[in-house]
Amino acid sequence: MNNLDVCLTPDLLHLHTVDNTIVVVADVFRATSCMVTAFAYGVGSIIPVATVDECRDLQQRGYLAAAERNARTVEGFDLDNSPFSYMDERLQGADIAMTTTNGTLAITKSRAAVKVLVGSFLNLEAVARYLRTQPYDVLVLCAGWKGRVNLEDTLFAGALADRLRDEYALNEDGALMAHRLYVDGKDNLINYLANASHIRRLQRLGIQKDIAYCLQHDLYDVVPVLRGSALVRMDV
Ligand code: MLT
């Protein structure tokens, strides 16, 4: 049986080996929920980059560009990091460059993996269904917040572990912790997350509706996968 492990923050990624492993990156609030929504609504590709400068370079080369830091849009960019901004038919087929505080950094750090997938509650079952067909170990990489652990990405990791517990061994404490957390909180994730630091941060900025949206399970059958430097849509 292959193993499913959880890396609670990108700052701990160096402790894991990712060759022979599929990495699922999760930044529930909001980068990976935003990417999944963007593909569900028809964007062509998303190039995730770690820095604002790289994103600006791509913008100057003609890409639409999304840049977020500390949950705010960086001045001079075309798009923000809200899933609702990508429910726009003018973006169908668009190639977008994106940088976010934690999510795109986590994706770029995972490049050595066999495959890098983008996960969120919105495409939870689609990710699980795809992984059930794969012969590799799985590492869920929680994007966290600036190197710190967060509740929402850990809950996603636990939810994926819950969906895959008949097919994958949960041998490591990171996976066991995440799974137990999800079992504890799953009946009312919004209440369970009420005091979470990024929820408080988003609420301070008046970003309310994204929270409930990003906690919905299984809205889309779309799994973004990294091909070269770009994420593209994989239907499963
Ligand atoms: C991130 O990548 O850290 C997040 O998407 C931040 C946000 O909610 O805008």
pLDDT by residue (tens digit) across 100-133? 999 999 999 999 999 999 999 999 999 999 999 9
Instruction: Give me the CATH number covering residue 38.
Output: 3.90.1560.10
Ligand 1 center from residue 24 Cα (angstroms): 17
Domain count of the fold of the chain: 1
pTM (2 d.p.): 0.97
Dmax (CA) for the chain in angstroms is: 49
What is the DSSP-derived secondary structure letter of residue 182? H
Ligand 1 center from residue 135 Cα (angstroms): 31
Mean pLDDT of 161-174: 97
Beta strands in 13-152, from DSSP E residues, in sequence order: 21-26, 45-48, 64-69, 72-73, 95-99, 115-119, 137-142
Ligand 1 center from residue 40 Cα (angstroms): 19
CB 71 near ligand 1, within 6 Å: yes
Could you identify the atom of ligand 1 that is nearest to the CA of residue 105? 2
| DSSP helix, strand, coil percent of the chain (3-state; round to 5) | 40, 25, 35
Q: Report the residue among 35, 68, 69, 211 best suited for mutation to probe ligand 1: largest number of ligand atoms under 8 A from its CB.
A: 68
**pLDDT higher than threshold 90 for residue 6:** yes
**Whole domain around residue 175: which residue ranges?**
4-235
User: If DSSP codes are grouped into helix, strand and coil, which group holds residue 99?
Assistant: strand
Ligand 1 center from residue 132 Cα (angstroms): 29
What is the distance between the alpha carbons of residues 74 and 86, in angstroms, rounded to a whole number? Answer: 17
Ligand 1 center from residue 100 Cα (angstroms): 6
Could you identify the atom of ligand 1 that is nearest to the CA of residue 82? 9
Residue 120, number of CB atoms within 10 A of its CB: 35
What is the distance between the alpha carbons of residues 35 and 38, in angstroms, rounded to a whole number? Answer: 5
CB 27 near ligand 1, within 6 Å: yes
CB 233 near ligand 1, within 6 Å: no
| Rg of the chain taking only CA atoms, in angstroms | 16
What is the distance between the alpha carbons of residues 4 and 138, in angstroms, rounded to a whole number? Answer: 5
- In this structure, the strands spanning 45-48 and 137-142 are unpaired
Could you identify the atom of ligand 1 that is nearest to the CA of residue 34? 5
CA 167 to chain centre: 22
Atom 7 (ligand 1) nearest CA? 71
Kindly report, residue by residue over 69-112, the tens digit of the pLDDT.
Answer: 999 999 999 999 999 999 999 999 999 999 999 999 999 999 99
